[in-house]
Homo-oligomer: A and B are copies of this chain.
Amino acid sequence: MKNNIRDLRAEKQLTQGDLAEAVGVSRQTINAIEKEKFDPSLPTAFRIARLFGRTIEEVFRYEEV
């Protein structure tokens, strides 16, 4: 799973901590998702996308196995 959270976050000038607070997860969780250590849960993905005013497909890109 790829994502462009880093760019979207930069656009809005939010730190990982800002985003974490807005989304309701820990800063380390945002960091891990951003660094693509693991995928967020579907609810978390929805909250992230919504926060940026984007669809999930615009934020995350799934590459078929």
Instruction: State how many copies of this chain the complex holds.
Output: 2
Q: Which residues of B contact A47 (CB under 8 A)?
A: 62
B62 near A43 with CB under 8 A, answer yes
Interface centre among A1, A42, A50 (most CB of B within 10 A): A42
Q: Is A20 an interface residue (CB 8 A)?
A: no
Complex Cα gap A1–B46 (Å): 10
Q: Is A57 an interface residue (CB 8 A)?
A: yes
Pick the residue among B39, B50, B64 that contacts A41 (CB under 8 A).
B39
Q: Is A60 an interface residue (CB 8 A)?
A: yes
- Which residues does A use to contact B, with CB under 8 Å? 1, 39-43, 45-47, 50, 55-57, 60, 62, 64
